[in-house]
Structure 1
Amino acid sequence: MQEQVSDHLLGSLVDQRYLVRTRLAGGGMSTVYLATDERLDRDVALKVLHPHLANDASFLERLRREARAAASLSHPHVVGVLDQGQDGHIAYLVMEYIKGHTLRDVLQEKGGLSPRLALALIDPVIEGLAAAHSAGLIHRDVKPENVLIADDGRIKVGDFGLARAVTAATSTGSLIGTVAYLAPELVLGEAADARSDIYSAGVMLYEMLTGTQPYSGEVPIQVAYKHVNAEIPAPSAAAPGLVSDLDELVQWCTAKDPEQRPVDGGALLSELRHIRTTLSDEQLDYAPLSARPSLAAAEQAASLDTTVLGSADAAHTEIISSGQHPTSVLPQPAQGISAAAFPTSVLPPAGPLPAGTDRDASSAQLSPREEKRAARQAEKDRARAAATPSRTLREGNVRRRAVIWASVILLLAVLAGTAGWFFGMGPGSPGTIPALKNRPAQEAEQLLRTAGFQSRPQDVFDDEVKAGYTVGTDPAAGVEIRKFLPVTLFVSKGPQLFPLANLDGLSLEQAKDALAGAEMTLGRVSEKYDEQAPAGTILSQAPAKDTPVRHGTAVSLVVSKGPQPLPVPDVRGMDRAAAVKAISDAGLTAKVAAEEIFDKKAPAGTVLRQSPSDGTLNRGGTVTLTLSKGPRLVEVPNFVGKSAKQAERELKKLGFEVELDVFGGILGLVQSQDPVDTMAPEGSTVTLRVV
């Protein structure tokens, strides 16, 4: 059905405005086309509801709500919604067209990304989500396919078509979003909020760092089940060598309990940028392996299960045989090493080892992780044994030893009391960071001091929080830390402002490119006649050039329509002076031709012809006038005594009108004529008296 829709719409004009050019993508609700807005002459993305849904009032109302919600958000990292409407059976949404590719294309080409590239790509995504969350919107479908990367490097979050206002009812009985990135609460049919987007972003970051999704399954319900019942593994399990800070970041975002995640995109953005500044170049430029085993395969290898998980051919998961990975045991602990350091399930049985087997050979069966753990415990026990003398060198005085022991016990009691005070009520006691966003900086510092924390103010730019007010803290609000640890207080310097470039004289397309390069948006475009500026060039802009504005500001443009065309007046039949004045009053220039023309009907000095005679000209255009010389003078021959018919014929050839005055007419001869033997104007009347 969808292909028929594409064929039907391609080349058509939707709502007498949007010319559909090609199909870009299709989804469960709609199809997206590349179209041209013929009113503003720009490319747009046209999202058309599927035909079988276009007659459903509930879907149409949902589409209208989506348009209103998304259009209320204007941010340089969010794809803008430009228009919404319905043309017959076609319900549509018009969005900003981003020419480029998606994050999915990047992942398919490169697989796992370095932490530097992954954090750089996800930063604008989280910034866009933070702006949406601050405006009361949630996305509900964060995934690599909805992260658009323009050819000029701009990164935008697309398809807020499933976003809902947080104040509206967001609980639904069906899954909305892609199951690979779906938060557990959505799988369970619970209400979604900003933290649901955070979960999806965490899964996406996992995939960017490892090149694989955390869960896989033959059917979507298997993946959804894992989101609800399993913990997202650390990325370093799939990509050994990743720094632990990235593991903690992903697992913080993907906690099953929404209360354990960042509260919104703003909180996550602060932590994300903090981590980027603390990692070394070596950690940021860590190159993940080009090919990693799937998580399912890793789980199978770890469990050593002999259950059949799939067919044994190359295209499916292999059957894991118990004979290939026999269970091994640790060696008997050496002298001085506590046996309690090892789980009883892996201790060797009492008694000697089998013949021909020594302790080193037995330990060779340990996994690398068990060997490291055993080595660390052995080192601790050796250090403890070395610090404990095997015998007393001198018995000493019993009373002296009692005094010493009493002093030691008293000192330990004082130390224990001091430690108890320090960690119970003093600077080492735990405290929860208060919520300080949008509070004056001095008030926020006082609240931190009252709570027992020491603050370190740090000025930052922020588009939402006004200057002098708190943007947030590091650690974030709600986090519990020891009070002696410093708390960074981010204080807004207001939005970062950038001067607008001068767009005057540029073409409309050049102005659009300049605005996009400066991360500004195109506002209202109007047209105006101008006598000097060529058509299609920019006459003015608002705000004006060099005005400091924030990124994402809408800039309105006035475009020249060229000189205004003026109608040409018809001055034929007027005398010269009147004709010249009429043309001049119309804003045009009159030019009188040097050659005048005889005309038997137009009086001398009047306008006989003009070029052009109608239509329009630009101001100052020339109208050429040709004047009449009046009728030509012709000598009138004498036809008295001649045949009246011959006389009439000859006079008409000369251009005269002939009037016959017949008296009898029997002879048919001219008795007299008037005028005769003189010059007369061409076209005048000659009277013949006929007998």
Structure 2
Amino acid sequence: MQEYASDPLVDTLVDDRYRIQSKLARGGMSTVYLATDMRLERDVALKVLHPHLADDPQFLDRLGREAKAAARLSHPHVVGVLDQGEDGRVAYLVMEYIKGHTLRDVIDERGALSTRLALALIDPVVEGLGAAHSAGLIHRDIKPENVLIADDGRIKLGDFGLARAVSTSTSTGSLIGTVAYLCPELVVGNLADARSDIYSVGIMLYEMITGQQPFDGETPIRVAYQHVNSTVPAPSILVPGLASEVDELVQWCTSKDPDRRPVDGSALLHELRHIRTNLSDAELDLQPPAAVGSLPGLASAPGQGAGRQGPVTASTSQISRAPRPTNPPQAHTEMLGALAHPTEVLRSGRSNPTTVMSTAQQRPAYGQLSAPDGTPFGAAGEDGTEGPPADLSKRAQRKVDRDAEKARQRAAATPTRSLREGNPRRRGLLWILLLVIAALLAAGAGWFFGLGPGSPGTIPPLANRTVAEAQEILRTGGFQSTTKDVFDDDVSPGLVVGSDPAAGEVIRKFQPISLAVSKGPQLFPLPDLGAKPLEDAKTELNGAEMALGPIAETYDEAVPAGTVMAQDPASGTEVRRGTPVSLTVSKGPQPIPVPDVRGQEQSAAVKALEAAGLKPVVAAETVHDRKVPQGAVIAQDPATGNLTRGGAVTLTISKGPKLVEVPSFVGKQAKEAERELRKLGFDVKVENIAGGFFGTVRFQDPVDKAVPEGSVVTLGVV
């Protein structure tokens, strides 16, 4: 973990017990330090609350209750809360110190992970979360940064110290977490429960498999909006070939309706481990398109592939961010999870003696089931032949023997009457005949239930075969079959999706087997979103269970801003549920800057405005202006800013300077003449004659005629 810059608390002693060594991280509510517990001589993680929270008595009281609740939770995959207290203005939590890195570091370093690695890493997280939910705790901030991976391979879920116990939650029941993983019910202000954590786990699993989060946006509120109004797309859209079970797991966890998610972490853990056990090696080791490559050591060892009961393990070298040395040290390994739901043999009410069912299998899948010892039904037995497990064959044979014995007992107990009483020879022959008949009945029953139509048989795997091939295999094995058509996103049309009962089950051969034949993926026509406001288009996409794709914006003179102009794929196109639909949205007419044409001749100004796409309007009234020549633009409205195409600009045209009659000031004092001329709007030029000693106007030019305002009047002064 990264050590941050110096801090005032570093090298101080908190509460006379915890010596702070260095700063580890800083978050929105607290700063985390590496400290040493001087009393027990061990390293701990000390979470110090920010001052504005430490000064809130109600928050500290609630924090104390939550810390006690979290401290009662002891689980190998949950970071333990060791202590809580206050030292002056320092309010703190003491937690177990995990030396290593986080799941965020793994995702940043590796990008998209293989299915095997993603499920192996998230298994202990879900196990720890399930234990917390059972104890009444909700995390509220599940994210890769809170999944700690120790150097020795241990994986723990941290930051339960700020979680709120369900039994003591406030009326709001919410603690806002990281927006990328925030569940819809918290966004709209509803209560949070265990299913809220499940949603965050689903988002995190999506990111682990695809290398990116399902929703992004320029601001947190846009991301939160998508959590409420959009459907999380299937990971297989970005990772072609991904097992459909993984798609279903992610979309089950991230359903917008909490009632359609797993009820808590334990329920999710059962399904997660069931999927891990039943996926093939090829499905588990599928590499995403942008993946760096599978991590060393995570590939299945011989005898530990999918469908077997061997545990999945990961060493610290498999998830460390540091480069691997040439001779890496021997790393301890940790069991990340094994199958938590052993298969159970249950008695059936039908004629077949046993029916194999998985206690964890709740979906109507056509998956492979296993016997109690973990051997898949239909696998080769000890003698190399394919058939039901030996214990089932023995049970079936014992039932046949019991039925035969009962038949002999009933025959022996049937009263008979001699043809000739007192003839022992004939009575003996009669008994022999009855015994022969009983033996024949027993042999017939034995043949029927042992080798004939009533004998038990294991249903072979039939997925991805043609109907003719599947029916021929069943006929060869002595089974009868029917067909039914179903939609399936992964199996090509015309091929068998599975059977009911499922492959691997043991049934009597006279019982019918139903073959599910793929009709291909179920397709739905896209709604027409053109000419609709963007918000209405989003609502309609959600109603059709489609995903919102990229939104492009463009100017359009005819379409109002915020209106959908085009969509891709087009309306009416038949696509799968969850398909992203890209939208092109109008930004309205493009704004045009208004050019400044003041001072230009009228015709030139009109041409300039028309070239810019605007409409020039010449005002009927013209005005005089001493500085603007006649016929030029003296004013325009608007003079600046933006207009849309075709916007009007009003031009006012100058009549030039107005004519003013120049009176005669000859014989008058020069100063008075100059003052009066300037009042009339003329400029005055004084020429002194012989020094202008008397200050009297001797002559002026012009005089007694009309000239343009602002003209120069020359005065000769003596």
Please tell me the TM-score bracket, short chain as reference: 0.5 to 0.7
- Residue 590 of structure 1 corresponds to 616
Q: 1:637 aligned to 645, 655, 663, which one?
A: 663
AA aligned opposite 1:61: V
How big is the shift at 1:537? Answer: 2.3
For 1:516 and 1:689, the matched residues in 2 are separated by 92
AA aligned opposite 1:455: S
Q: 1:250 aligned to 339, 359, 376, which one?
A: 359
Whether contact under 8 Å (1:432, 1:477) holds in the other structure is yes
- Is structure 2 residue 91 aligned with structure 1 residue 5? no
Q: 1:252 to 1:471 in 2, by over 3 A?
A: closer
- Residue 485 of structure 1 corresponds to 511
For 2:540 and 2:461, the matched residues in 1 are separated by 40
Note the 1:513-662 alignment, pairs <5 A.
513-662=539-688
**Higher RCO (Cα < 8 Å, 6 or more apart):** 2
In structure 2, the gaps of 5 or more residues are 1-22, 32-69, 71-76, 80-94, 119-142, 146-176, 197-232, 277-282, 286-293, 299-306, 316-334, 347-353, 363-368, 379-405
For 2:510 and 2:410, the matched residues in 1 are separated by 35
Q: CA-atom RMSD, angstroms?
A: 5.6
Q: 1:402 to 1:654 in 2, by over 3 A?
A: same
Q: 1:571 to 1:54 in 2, by over 3 A?
A: farther
Note the 1:102-251 alignment, pairs <5 A.
104=194, 135-136=242-243, 147=253, 150=256, 166-167=284-285, 168=294, 190=313, 250=359
- Residue 683 of structure 1 corresponds to 710
AA aligned opposite 2:359: V
How big is the shift at 1:229? Answer: 10
- Is structure 2 residue 88 aligned with structure 1 residue 61? no
Residue deviations 1:33-52 (CA, integer Å, cap 9, x gap): xxxxxxxxxxxxxxxxx9x9
Residue deviations 1:452-502 (CA, integer Å, cap 9, x gap): 322211100112212111111112122233322211110011111222222
- Is structure 2 residue 496 aligned with structure 1 residue 470? yes
Whether contact under 8 Å (1:603, 1:628) holds in the other structure is yes
Q: 1:595 to 1:256 in 2, by over 3 A?
A: farther
Q: 1:413 to 1:184 in 2, by over 3 A?
A: closer
Q: 1:611 to 1:682 in 2, by over 3 A?
A: same
Whether contact under 8 Å (1:430, 1:480) holds in the other structure is yes
Q: 1:681 to 1:618 in 2, by over 3 A?
A: same
Q: 1:515 to 1:153 in 2, by over 3 A?
A: farther
For 1:424 and 1:57, the matched residues in 2 are separated by 58
Whether contact under 8 Å (2:618, 2:653) holds in the other structure is yes
Whether contact under 8 Å (2:244, 2:490) holds in the other structure is no
Note the 1:343-382 alignment, pairs <5 A.
none
State TM-score, norm by structure 2. Answer: 0.52
Whether contact under 8 Å (1:103, 1:148) holds in the other structure is no
- Give secondary structure in 2 for the equivalent of 1:250: coil
Q: How many pairs align? A: 454
- Give secondary structure in 2 for the equivalent of 1:447: helix
Whether contact under 8 Å (1:147, 1:157) holds in the other structure is no
Q: 1:147 to 1:652 in 2, by over 3 A?
A: same
How big is the shift at 1:687? Answer: 1.9
Whether contact under 8 Å (1:568, 1:612) holds in the other structure is yes
Q: 1:688 to 1:129 in 2, by over 3 A?
A: closer
Greater displacement, 603-612 / 132-141: 132-141
Residue deviations 1:100-142 (CA, integer Å, cap 9, x gap): 7788469xxxxxxxxxxxxxxxxxxxx9899999714987998
In structure 1, the gaps of 5 or more residues are 10-25, 30-49, 74-83, 107-126, 173-182, 193-223, 236-244, 264-380
Whether contact under 8 Å (1:67, 1:93) holds in the other structure is no
For 1:456 and 1:104, the matched residues in 2 are separated by 43
Whether contact under 8 Å (2:556, 2:586) holds in the other structure is yes
- Give secondary structure in 2 for the equivalent of 1:150: coil
For 1:443 and 1:232, the matched residues in 2 are separated by 29
For 1:622 and 1:260, the matched residues in 2 are separated by 84
How big is the shift at 1:170? Answer: 10
How big is the shift at 1:28? Answer: 6.1
- Residue 98 of structure 1 corresponds to 184
For 1:158 and 1:510, the matched residues in 2 are separated by 34
State TM-score, norm by structure 1. Answer: 0.53
Whether contact under 8 Å (2:355, 2:506) holds in the other structure is no
How big is the shift at 1:149? Answer: 5.3
- Residue 128 of structure 2 corresponds to none
For 1:497 and 1:418, the matched residues in 2 are separated by 53
For 1:541 and 1:637, the matched residues in 2 are separated by 79
Whether contact under 8 Å (1:101, 1:151) holds in the other structure is no
Q: 1:421 to 1:2 in 2, by over 3 A?
A: farther
- Give secondary structure in 1 for the equivalent of 2:510: coil
How big is the shift at 1:591? Answer: 1.9
Q: 1:421 to 1:130 in 2, by over 3 A?
A: farther
For 1:140 and 1:631, the matched residues in 2 are separated by 83
For 1:184 and 1:503, the matched residues in 2 are separated by 49
- Give secondary structure in 2 for the equivalent of 1:650: helix
Residue deviations 1:610-666 (CA, integer Å, cap 9, x gap): 121122112222212111111011111112222222222221111112222333222
Could you tell me the percent identity over the aligned residues? 43
For 2:473 and 2:635, the matched residues in 1 are separated by 91
Whether contact under 8 Å (2:234, 2:247) holds in the other structure is no
Whether contact under 8 Å (2:474, 2:481) holds in the other structure is yes
- Residue 506 of structure 1 corresponds to 532
For 1:492 and 1:400, the matched residues in 2 are separated by 67
- Residue 699 of structure 2 corresponds to 672
AA aligned opposite 2:606: V
